[in-house]
Amino acid sequence: MSKITMGQGLNRAIDEAMAEDEGVILLGEDVAAKQGGGVFKISAGLTEKYGEHRIRATPISEQAIMGACVGAALTGFRPIAEIMLMNFVTVCMDQIVNHAAKLRFMSGGQTNVPLVIRTTTGVGVGFGGQHSDMLEAWFAHVPGLKIVTPSNAADAQGLMRAAIACNDPVIFIENILCYGLQSDDPGANHVVPLGKAAVTQEGRDVSIITYGRTVLDALEVAGQLKDEGISAEVIDLRTIAPFDEEAVLASVKKTGRAIVLHEAVKAFGTGAEISARINEKLFGQLKAPVVRIGGAFSAVPMANVLEQAWIPNKDEIKEAARAAVKWGN
């Protein structure tokens, strides 16, 4: 069966949506053909098909990019804003949080903002402190925003189609290390609904709840744990907020043990909400404390040795699973 990479899946989903609706436009730095179709080439070939009026290369002006997308969205367009790296959302949070997220509510439902904010980030490429942050927890705390991140190429394509179709703003987070990941080609018009998690690996003993690149780590660890006789279930949230509480609770009800894993800084991260919710809803039904695993409490260091020490690592996950299963005996 033929394969696609995550980059190809994203490009195809955007292409399909643009072919369908004149209102789908893309704004971002270097995104047009003249600049090579984006620094990660996700918009390669689209300018040739849809023109520079729909694929707009922008100045380095994230507030203007985001605001222009918000404004166009208010008229019924479905803009896609590309923020080159996630750390740069820090220069346009106002447009995202005070405007995109709130205009539907503040207008009493008269307007809405069907906007997709694409951005990429990731630890492990040596980009250092200002180019590697995972800030999904900030957005999850803002009513009015949905946050999505794919862990494989097929989901990337399907989630992007769903995000563009969504009538509310969606933050779409891509992991820089995952663009090359391959999946079986899901074919044209593949859609993965927002808000639905995937049970990527069935298991009985412990639930590993995660999203994005760390899903790969979780699956690898689950495989290794099998040899030790520990059956780990892996839940790929896919939509981080609002997350699929039913799926999470069903899994943890079954296993009685949960590990919440993400690459972002652990302290005050999304794992805290997931852990708190599990504890609230399954009080007295857990066989072991919910464990959170996340990034270290520091800026992301540049030196590779430090960067590798910063990221949650597989041994840590394995250890947590063993400890959870052993808990109490």
Ligand X SMILES: Cc1ncc(C[n+]2csc(CCOP(=O)(O)OP(=O)(O)O)c2C)c(N)n1
Q: Does 188 bind ligand X (CB under 6 A)?
A: no
267 lies in the binding site for another protein (CB under 8 A): yes
Answer yes or no whether residue 278 interacts with another protein by CB under 8 A.
no
| Residues whose CB falls within 8 Å of the CB of residue 65, separated by 6 or more in sequence, listed in order | 27, 28, 29, 58, 81, 82, 83, 92
Binding to a second copy by residue 102, rule CB under 8 A? yes
Segment interacting with a second copy, rule: CB under 8 A, options 43-51, 89-97, 159-167, 188-196: 89-97
Q: Which of another protein, a second copy, ligand X, none sits in contact with 66, Cβ below 5 to 8 A by type?
A: another protein
Whether residue 53 lies in the annotated active site:
no
- Two structure tokens written together for 153: 């190429």
For another protein, the closer CB: 143 or 289? 143
Q: Return the structure tokens found at 146.
A: 């949905």
Query: Which is it for the CA torsion 21, 65, 169, 48, positive or negative?
Result: positive
Q: List the single partner that 323 binds among ligand X, a second copy, another protein, none, CB under 5 to 8 Å by kind.
A: none
Angle subtended at Cα 15 by Cα 124 and Cα 188, rounded to the nearest 5 degrees: 95
Contact with another protein (CB under 8 A): which of 13, 14, 26, 103? Answer: 103
Instruction: Give Cα 43 to chain centroid, integer Å.
Output: 19
Check residue 167 for interaction with a second copy (CB under 8 A): no
Using the rule CB under 8 A, is 98 a contact of another protein? yes
Instruction: Give the separation between CA 43 and CA 49, rounded to whole angstroms.
Output: 11
CA angle (174 as vertex; 75, 28 as ends), nearest 5: 45
- The single residue of 29, 82, 131, 190 carrying the catalytic annotation is 131
Distances (CA, A) of 217 to 32, 51, 204, 212, 221: 34, 40, 19, 10, 6
Nearest to ligand X of 62, 217 (CB atom): 62
Nearer to ligand X, 77 or 88 (CB): 88
User: Is 133 one of the binding residues for ligand X (CB under 6 A)?
Assistant: no
Hey, CA dihedral for 9, 239, 307, 258, is it positive or negative?
Answer: negative
Q: What is the DSSP string of 49-99?
A: HH-TTTEEE--S-HHHHHHHHHHHHHTT---EEEESSGGGGGGSHIIIIII
Q: Using the rule CB under 6 A, give the single segment among 83-91, 109-117, 174-182, 225-233 that binds ligand X.
A: 83-91
Q: How far apart are CA 185 and CA 182, in angstroms?
A: 9
Q: How far is CA 23 from CA 147, 162, 165, in A?
A: 22, 15, 11
Q: Alpha-carbon distance 216 to 212, whole Å?
A: 8
Q: Which of residues 254-283 bind a second copy (CB under 8 A)?
A: 264-265, 267-273, 275-276, 279-280, 283
Burial of 250 (0-12, 13-18, 19+ CB in 10 A): middle
C-alpha to C-alpha distance for 245 and 284, rounded to whole angstroms = 18
Q: Is 105 in the site for another protein (CB under 8 A)?
A: yes
Q: In whole angstroms, give the CA distance from residue 197 to residue 182.
A: 20
136 belongs to the catalytic site: no
x/- mask, ligand X, residues 229-258, rule CB under 6 A, reads: ------------------------------
Position 59 contacts another protein (CB under 8 A):
yes
Q: Which does 48 bind (CB under 5 to 8 A by kind): ligand X, a second copy, another protein, none?
A: none
Q: Give which of another protein, a second copy, ligand X, none residue 67 binds (C-beta under 5 to 8 Å, depending on kind).
A: another protein
Determine, following the binding rule CB under 8 A, whether residue 189 of this chain makes contact with a second copy: no
Applying CB under 8 A, the residues found at the interface with a second copy are 63, 87-91, 93-94, 96-98, 101-102, 105-106, 128-130, 133, 135, 137-138, 140-144, 241, 264-265, 267-273, 275-276, 279-280, 283, 286, 288-292, 296-299, 301
Applying CB under 6 A, the residues found at the interface with ligand X are 29, 60, 62, 84, 88, 91
